[in-house]
């Protein structure tokens, strides 16, 4: 597909509440639907975006009226996801006990993304967590 017809980066600001997580995943599905190979990013992309968005909502010490920004872009052959929030805490992978209901989100990000990280936001307020997702092809497509 010529670069001029390739979907550009996408960004949206959503309410900082767990009810916005399905909307974030829906927006990613719509973005990927415009890509000829979007299906090969969809499952892992939705899972990781949901985890990153939920973490931004649950663990950010930012005021409740702050929005969470999501960004998607195809960078080379990787899907780049970003979740921006106004919190100052930095995420870290931890080990969850077998009976814990929470605490595995960043473990999944760490295992399924090619790379991920956390950076301060421009302007000095908050941070963003990013993940690069490689295409995954089902055996039927290979």
CA 74, 83, 28, 132 torsion-angle sign: positive
pLDDT at 101: 64
Which 8-state DSSP code applies to residue 64?
A: T
The 3-state DSSP class for residue 42 equals helix
Distance CA 7, CA 57 (A): 28
Give domain limits for the chain.
Answer: 7-95+103-133
Which pair of tokens denotes residue 7? 């979907």
Distance CA 58, CA 123 (A): 23
For residue range 78-113, list pLDDT tens digits in order.
999 999 998 888 887 777 667 766 667 888 899 999
pLDDT at 71: 97
Nearest to 56 by CA among 6, 7, 10, 106: 106
Which 8-state DSSP code applies to residue 25?
A: H
Distance CA 120, CA 114 (A): 21
pLDDT at 43: 96
pTM (two decimals): 0.86
pLDDT at 53: 95
Question: What is the maximum alpha-carbon separation in the chain?
Answer: 50
Spell out, as residue ranges, where the chain has pLDDT lower than 50.
1, 141-142
Classify domain 7-95+103-133 by CATH number.
3.30.565.10
Which pair of tokens denotes residue 128? 């963003």
pLDDT at 41: 97
Are 122 and 108 a contacting pair, CB within 8 Å? no
pLDDT at 116: 96
Helix axes 105-112, 39-59, angle to 10 degrees: 150
């Amino acid at each position: 597909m010529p670069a001029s017809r390739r979907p550009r980066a996408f960004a949206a600001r959503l309410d900082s509440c767990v009810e916005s997580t399905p909307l974030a995943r829906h927006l990613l599905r719509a973005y990927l639907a415009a890509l000829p190979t979007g299906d090969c990013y969809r499952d892992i992309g939705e899972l990781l975006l949901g985890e990153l968005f939920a973490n931004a909502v649950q663990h950010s010490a930012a005021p409740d009226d702050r929005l969470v920004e999501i960004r998607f872009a195809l960078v080379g052959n990787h899907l780049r996801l970003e979740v921006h929030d106004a919190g100052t805490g930095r995420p870290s992978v931890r080990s969850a006990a077998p009976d814990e209901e929470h605490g595995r989100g960043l473990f999944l990000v760490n295992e399924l993304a090619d790379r991920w990280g956390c950076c301060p936001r421009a302007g000095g307020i908050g941070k963003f967590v990013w993940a690069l997702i490689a295409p995954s092809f089902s055996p039927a497509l290979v």
